[in-house]
Structure 1
Amino acid sequence: MNIKFSPSLMTMDLDKFSEQIGFLKDKVDSFHVDIMDGHFVPNLSLSPWFIEQVKKIADTQISAHLMVEDPAFWTDKLIDIGTDFICFPAESVSGIAFRLINKIHSSGLRAGVVLNPETPISSIEAYIDKLDKITIMTVDPGFAGEVFIKKSLEKIVNLRKEREKFNYHFLIEMDGSSNKKSFSMIHQANPDIYIVGRSGLFGLSDDIQTSWQEMIENFETETGVKVSKFINQE
């Protein structure tokens, strides 16, 4: 079982940017970058400029999670800088989903969609076969440290069944309060990618190496799955 971790860079220590990116770049499968416009959610966070800075010191895949009212505007900017995964909110793409997916694919990049806790899988059925990734929010979006919503895990289970039944190729990712308290529940739902933020990684210690080791130990203890055998720990 190849467990994939994707650190949420919104929750990293920005005063230790180079140190933390430099340590994590060879250990994780991707970096998760939240982009908020202050309208879709009442908060502002990272930007395409931030992604450009990450790309200067790491060739790790970057996944942009758009929490915006105008995903087409931001998609153009993310295409320009070669963002590996561009994931738009299902709630903001009515009438333009196919256009956005085709534009992303035509640029040689991968397209994803994000489902907030209240949004059903049925809302993306028209284009689910074209997606490269589906992110399931297990917290209300927009802020770090929100309450974990266990019921959202049912979507992960149902998506896996649908993927197997119809031979879809999308990855399944979970986003929200992935930490020692929830690792076991999340593991039972079996996503492909765990997004880890402040409570699961960056807030465990002032030292990123210590935080990383503790995160791995927490995951292995709570799930019974050894992930250190295929992740570079040095």
Structure 2
Amino acid sequence: MIISASIQAANQLNIIKDIHKHESKFDQIHVDITDGHFTDNISMSFQHIKEVKKQTNYKVDVQLMVEDNVKLAPLAFEYGADLVCVHSESTKLDDFIKLSKIYENLGVATLPDTDNESINDYLLYSKAVLLLAVNPGFSNQGQAINLIDKVKSFHNLYPNFNGDLIADGGIKNEDLDNLKINNVDIAVQGGAIFN
């Protein structure tokens, strides 16, 4: 299982230094980009993707928590993202399909209260599925749902999905073994790495 470090939880005054300081704890970098509309706050920017790619050797996966994914997903790839997950709640299926035909490494993400059943039609075009267990926007939150239950539900519904399953939100070190046992491919951690 790959550990992806959410730099939203890093020291915002010196993110690159903090990445190097904790580099033994993770395998790649996770960037959350919010727009203040889909979420209540604005967090990281596309420039963060560019700087991480420029100043480190890590792959970067991005979660876009924005309203206009048609416009912003291409920007994330342009700035160097290796994988971009857009939310089903703000991306119409036909827009997702169009994006997936241009960008191979596109994934679909869901909010905590979004049912796994709702993304069925996205999966054929999706390289990854990100299950978010916290309400979006801020780091170091407790989980709003039982993440393991949602992971198990996903596998029961979609046993033949061959993309990456990403678990994100409030994941502590003691949760990692259980996620791995339940076939999570990538676990996103923020506070557990940087605090």
TM superposition score normalised by structure 1: 0.75
Q: Which residue pairs with 2:63 in the alignment? A: 65
2:41 to 40, 43, 64: 43
Q: Which residue pairs with 2:142 in the alignment? A: 147
Deviation at 1:45? Answer: 0.5
Deviation at 1:122? Answer: 1.7
Q: Which residue pairs with 1:195 in the alignment? A: 188
Residue-pair matches, total: 194
2:124 to 120, 129, 135: 129
Distance 1:111 1:180 in 2: 27
Give per-residue Cα distances to partners, 1:144-178, cap 9 Å, x unaligned.
122213434322113334554x3x32111111111
Listed as ranges, the gaps of 5+ residues in structure 2 are none
Q: Which residue pairs with 1:9 in the alignment? A: 7
Q: Which residue pairs with 1:157 in the alignment? A: 152
The more displaced of 121-130 and 40-49 is 121-130
Q: Which residue pairs with 2:168 in the alignment? A: 175
Distance 1:195 1:57 in 2: 21
1:18-57 alignment runs, 5 A limit:
18-23=16-21, 28-57=26-55
The more displaced of 124-133 and 21-30 is 21-30
Distance 2:149 2:67 in 1: 27
Give per-residue Cα distances to partners, 1:47-74, cap 9 Å, x unaligned.
1111111111112110110000101111
Task: Say if 1:103 and 1:25 are closer, same or farther in 2 by CA, change over 3 A.
Answer: farther
Higher RCO, 1 vs 2 (CA within 8 Å, ≥6 residues apart)? 2
Listed as ranges, the gaps of 5+ residues in structure 1 are 204-234
Q: Which residue pairs with 2:96 in the alignment? A: 97
Distance 2:89 2:150 in 1: 16
Distance 2:163 2:21 in 1: 28
Distance 2:41 2:182 in 1: 29
Q: Does structure 2 retain, via aligned residues, the 8 Å contact 1:86–1:104?
A: no
1:114 aligns with 2:109: yes
Task: Point out the structure with max Rg over C-alpha.
Answer: 1
Distance 1:180 1:41 in 2: 27
Q: Does structure 1 retain, via aligned residues, the 8 Å contact 2:18–2:194?
A: no
The SS at the match of 1:31 is strand
Q: Does structure 2 retain, via aligned residues, the 8 Å contact 1:146–1:176?
A: yes
Identity %: 26
Distance 1:153 1:60 in 2: 27
Please tell me the residue identity of whatever aligns with 1:132: K
Q: What is the aligned-residue RMSD (CA, Å)?
A: 2.1
The SS at the match of 1:35 is strand
Give per-residue Cα distances to partners, 1:18-59, cap 9 Å, x unaligned.
322334557633210000000000010111111111111112
